[in-house]
Amino acid sequence: MKKMRIVGILILLGLLTACSMDNRNNSSMNSTEMNHSNHRMDEEMGHETTANLKSSKGEHELTFPKVLKPDSLTDNAVVYTIKAQQGKTKFLNGFETETYGYNGRFLGPVVRMEKGMNVTIHLVNELKEDTTFHWHGLEVPGNEDGGPHKVLKAGEKETIQFNVKQDAATLWFHPHPMHQTAKQVFKGLTGLLYIDDKNLNLPDRYGVDDLPIILQDKKFTDENQLDYDQVMNADGTTGDILLINGVIDPKLTVDRKKVRLRILNGSNARNYILRFNNDMEFQQIASDGGLLNRPYNTKTIQLSPSERAEIIVDFTKVKTNEVTLINEDGVNVLPIHVKEEKLPSKQIKQNLNQLQVSDEIKNKKVTKKIKLAGMMQHVTINNKKFDPNRIDFTQKQNKMEVWEIENVKDAMGGMRHPFHIHGTQFQVVSIDGKEPPANLSGLKDTISLEPGQKAKIAVKFKRKGIYMYHCHILEHEDNGMMGQIEVN
Ligand SMILES: [Cu+2]
């Protein structure tokens, strides 16, 4: 009896310690905040950790988003119409889930354009709530960028125009309204935007040897709904169900040749570390903002929210007919069936790009410092929360400046934050004083840092206007882990 009571006390002590661990971010709060926070904490206790992903059962052939048909197209101009819509999508056992999509019920089409083109996009908000249309990675004037200031109210239309001034890249678009970004992306508002270049000699037959792979983990309610308010976690909403291009339990059938995968981490908060189950090497050829200088041979690829990687996978190397793309935890992300017949492949060039960080830039003084800190509702940049009426920094158009980004390690360790800047593609100068690895030495619009890491990046804006910079864990962004820079 006495022994049992001691065991009981020990268990209770264990639970209390666990609870105080979960409440660790309360340490710096005053008592009013504490009361509020304890209330919230009760609700949040259940989703403290990242949800475990389920392996794909490989039941549904992967499909690819449609390529958006232009309203009109000439050599140097293209016109599109993009509508934010709502609808119902069948994911789970034929049950209907209420979803959002662009020009459809879930996700969006691929919008394609080329460098030098004048692009006109008619935007239509057919949702019952406000939204914005943000072009992630596109170097457009601040006014066209679709940040939280550019609200398109329910039922409204707007037309934007810009000229494409950057090289080939896999970019994307998503909403960015104040406090609603995470919910709207979670419900399905995500589309790809390709800047094309016909002279690259890369696999480019869309849906055949050039395949988009949009990774998004979701948590469905018992009613098979994507009810964001029910499942949200202030430190980043994760789910147990992985959708690729909106397909649940996907499998892929590919030709036995070199195939290009354009992978987007379109998840609210989850990081992925991907590799193949046979441990084969592949080549990363591009990062967020375009081609690397040369193909980078690797067996693994890490993507934080909003990051992209283009990889070339040589499926002739697969000895059998089956190979699986897996995540770090051994979860099957995408089972792949390789067809028997070997087909000719394109020869991938060894010199893809000519990017460099000059000695002048390496020796430049840091002129902007960014400190990322906190967890949950207490996330900040430079100890501040986002204020739409406050400009945090200014920078001259076309002037290169070196920014220092630090993920501040706190007493409790902190967490990884993917830091994103709108309207520019930057280059990483150094991470913790060292040259960046090859896969991070191309153009980037997001840099993901572990607690304690510090990076220098070379940032230049080609256009003028007000741009956001923020953490791309969407819940952190919505919680105010964001600032703004005016380029003039
Ligand atoms: Cu963050």
- Secondary structure of 35-92 in the HEC alphabet? HHHHHHHHHHHHHCCCCCCCCCCCCEECCCCCECCCCEECCCEEEEEEEEEEEEEECC
Whether the pLDDT of residue 7 is over 70: the answer is no
Identify residues whose C-beta is under 5 A from ligand 1, the ion. 417, 471, 473, 476
| Mean pLDDT, rounded, for 319-333 | 96
Tell me which of 5 and 280 has the higher pLDDT. 280
- Report which residue type is found at 134: H
**Separation of CA 417 and ligand 1 centre (Å):** 4
**What are φ and ψ of residue 363, in 5° steps?**
-95, 0
**Separation of CA 480 and ligand 1 centre (Å):** 10
Reported as a single tens digit per residue, the pLDDT across 417-459 is 999 999 999 999 999 999 999 999 999 999 999 999 999 999 9
CA dihedral 419, 425, 430, 435 (to 10 degrees): 130
Nearest-angstrom CA–CA distance, 426 and 234: 29
Close Cβ partners of 48 (under 8 Å, ≥ 6 residues apart):
22, 233, 235
Q: Confidence class of residue 410 from pLDDT cuts 50, 70 and 90?
A: confident
* Percentage, residues of the chain above pLDDT 90: 87
**Separation of CA 374 and ligand 1 centre (Å):** 8
Q: Alpha carbon 75 to chain centroid distance?
A: 31
Among 129-143, 248-262, 270-284, 400-414, name the one with the lowest average pLDDT.
400-414
* pLDDT given for residue 31 in this prediction: 35
Whether the pLDDT of residue 17 is over 50: the answer is no
* pLDDT given for residue 92 in this prediction: 82
| Mean pLDDT, rounded, for 130-148 | 98
Structure-token pair, residue 357: 């960080």
Helices (H) and strands (E) in the chain, counts: 6, 33
**Separation of CA 476 and ligand 1 centre (Å):** 5
| Mean pLDDT, rounded, for 137-151 | 97
**Signed CA dihedral, 183, 64, 344, 327: sign only:** positive
Q: How many CB atoms lie within 10 A of CB 179?
A: 12
User: pTM of the entire structure?
Assistant: 0.90
**Separation of CA 9 and ligand 1 centre (Å):** 37
Q: Confidence class of residue 113 from pLDDT cuts 50, 70 and 90?
A: very high
**Separation of CA 449 and ligand 1 centre (Å):** 10
Q: Confidence class of residue 93 from pLDDT cuts 50, 70 and 90?
A: confident
**Separation of CA 120 and ligand 1 centre (Å):** 33
3-state helix, strand, coil in the chain (%, to 5): 15, 40, 45
| Strand stretches in 198-249, DSSP E | 210-218, 241-244, 247-248
Whether the pLDDT of residue 160 is over 50: the answer is yes
**Separation of CA 338 and ligand 1 centre (Å):** 38
**Separation of CA 386 and ligand 1 centre (Å):** 13
Q: Which domains does the chain have, with CATH numbers?
A: 60-196 (2.60.40.420), 210-342 (2.60.40.420), 359-487 (2.60.40.420)
